[in-house]
Structure 1
Amino acid sequence: MDLRIVLGVSLMLASPAWGQPVVSPGPDFQARMSAASRAYEELDYEHSLEQLDSAKAAASDGGERGRVAILRGIVLADLGRRQESLAAFKEGLSLLPDASLPVKVSPKVSRDFEEVRRNVQRELARNPRPPPDAPVAIADVQPEPALSPGLVPAPAREEVRRTPVLPLALLGGGVVLGGIGGYVGLQSRSNVNAAREDDFYSDRTAHLDSARGQALAANILLGAAVTAAAGAAITWLLTGDSPSPRTEVTP
């Protein structure tokens, strides 16, 4: 297979324009909930609460509002705001009486959650409520037509072809940088998990600081890897078609 085709496919997969779907602007409930969960796992509680506010505004029925309230109760519990946490649990379980905790929590938070559930169930037994609003039907969205790949021109006939060294070096460097970036990213995630398990606030903060630094380094390395891959493709396209000089001796 022509090496230019391999480099072209690698560049398209690495580039955000080819590797990621286009997301239309506007509120999106699931995206906001996922962002809130990620922020909570990274101990960024204030950002998690901001995302939950956005998710609540984008919720389309009582079930989604219940999910927002339950996750908010978990975040508030970790912040030490127990009364607000209990109120959020009550709001969520009133909408979703059979809901479970979406993330791993401490035994104390789990006990509070189950105690609130029992109280809500007793209230619902005395005063039954209608089920949460039915989900709002969303109109089918026609998928965007897939971009047809560009035609790869057939290589020109030539007597002698030389393999450019610079594109291969850039591609190899990109692979190495990407591997290092992935490893540093895994170390960042490990520090976040360690912070979640520590009981002391100072230890959690130290792990979190390390995780943030490693996440920044991983992002820089991955960006450099993408840049190297792009440079390899561009350099190959600019120099790959140049035939090496050949001297012919005619009798």
Structure 2
Amino acid sequence: MPTNRFCPRLSWRSGAWVWGLWLGLLVLPLRARAEISPDVRRYLLSINRLIEDLAYERALEQIARAKKVSKGPEDDVAVSLYEGVTLAELSQGRQEEADAAFQAALFLNPDAKLPLTVSPKLRKRFEAVRQKVLKELASRGERPDALKMDVPESPQPVVRAPVVSAAPVAEVATEGSSLRERAWMPAVVGGVLAVGGGVMWFLASKEQGKLDGPSEDIRTEKDARAVASRTRSLQSVGVG
């Protein structure tokens, strides 16, 4: 099996991203696969096999051939992304070349995503390159979205639905709340009065009980008249 003469073997993550590359080629959305030409797709499958065998130099040779049969920006973006990943895994000394490949893809499509699973470190580096590309495009006054538009479409009239003010609804809700408040307030007041009346009636009954039989509070006729007066007063408050 071919070996890499520039760097040590990949760590534990090599198997994960190789299988991610293979699955990425197979489960691409139909639209995305349709945008990549058949010739380039065959080269990408070959590149996947070489990467699986750790034959990075031969993979780069296939990438160079894939560039020659590219049919458009979609092919260029896909090939450049694979080139960037291959260079990044090939050797730590070729990181600048990997960044250049990522830039080539991102300038064509700033929203491009890596088509295979990579290490968190490499993904972070890729996102850093994306931010650099976006910053450069902004300094030129170019919008990334405009790069994807081949033929500008004529603006269509926008039909807006009439805006219904929400003020009447709020007013009705407020009025309803006021009515409810006015409805339950008499009930609460009535309940309080009923409780108070019951207490007064109880006290009046207690005072009247003193008149029905012997009581320590009634020793003279004056005391009896005072108790009778308090009883009538409490009964009047309780009923009223």
TM over 0.5: no
Task: Point out the structure with the larger helix share.
Answer: 2
Higher relative contact order (CA 8 A, sep 6+): 1
The higher radius of gyration belongs to 2
Q: TM-score, normalised by structure 2?
A: 0.42
TM-score after normalising by structure 1: 0.40
